């Protein structure tokens, strides 16, 4: 069965600290990978996506993620977080063979202290 797991449920950082959120997936075949962000009181927004090509993808607001096929991972990174990055982050995966339906991880709640 397809699954996505996020290792950290809660992360607390100080401003300017570096961020890395782990994501592992279990999918057969070609996989599409996503990171979504949900700011307090707002709806899910796409941070970045990987379909194919360069395994290092850059998204909005200085976020990036690296697809490591051998590790089934798609970790999210940001070199220096800001207070405004406080949000919940969801990793998700889909495949064309499975109708492009998204399977989400459980989410990581990030709090950035000013």
Partner 1 sequence: EAGVAQSPRYKIIEKRQSVAFWCNPISGHATLYWYQQILGQGPKLLIQFQNNGVVDDSQLPKDRFSAERLKGVDSTLKIQPAKLEDSAVYLCASSLVRLPEQFFGPGTRLTVL
Footprint of partner 1 on this chain (CB under 8 A)?
4, 32, 34, 36, 42-46, 49, 51, 90, 92, 94, 96, 99-107
CB of 30 to partner 1, least distance (A): 10
CB of 16 to partner 1, least distance (A): 28
Query: Which residue's CB is nearer to partner 1, number 60 or number 101?
Result: 101
Strand 87-94 and strand 32-38: pairing?
antiparallel
CB of 54 to partner 1, least distance (A): 17
Query: Which residue's CB is nearer to partner 1, number 14 or number 97?
Result: 97
CA distance 83 to 16: 9
Name, in order, each residue with C-beta under 8 angstroms of 36's C-beta and a sequence gap of 6 or more.
44, 45, 46, 47, 89, 90, 91, 92, 104
Spell out a b/e string for 5-44, using b for 16 or more CB atoms within 10 Å of the CB, else e: ebeeeebebeeeeebebebbbebeeebbbbbbbeeeeeee
CB of 42 to partner 1, least distance (A): 8
Query: Which residue's CB is nearer to partner 1, number 14 or number 39?
Result: 39
Query: Which residue's CB is nearer to partner 1, number 32 or number 77?
Result: 32
């Amino acid at each position: 069965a397809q699954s996505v797991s996020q290792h950290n449920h809660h992360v607390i950082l100080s401003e300017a600290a570096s961020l890395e959120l782990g994501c592992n997936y279990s999918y057969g075949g070609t996989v599409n990978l996503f990171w979504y962000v949900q700011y307090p009181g707002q709806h899910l927004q796409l941070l970045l996506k990987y379909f194919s090509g360069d395994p290092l993808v850059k998204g909005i607001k200085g976020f990036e993620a690296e697809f490591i096929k051998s590790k089934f991972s798609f970790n999210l990174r940001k070199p220096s977080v800001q207070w405004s990055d406080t949000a919940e982050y969801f990793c998700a995966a889909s495949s064309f063979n499975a109708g492009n339906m998204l399977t989400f991880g459980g989410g990581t709640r990030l709090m950035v202290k000013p």
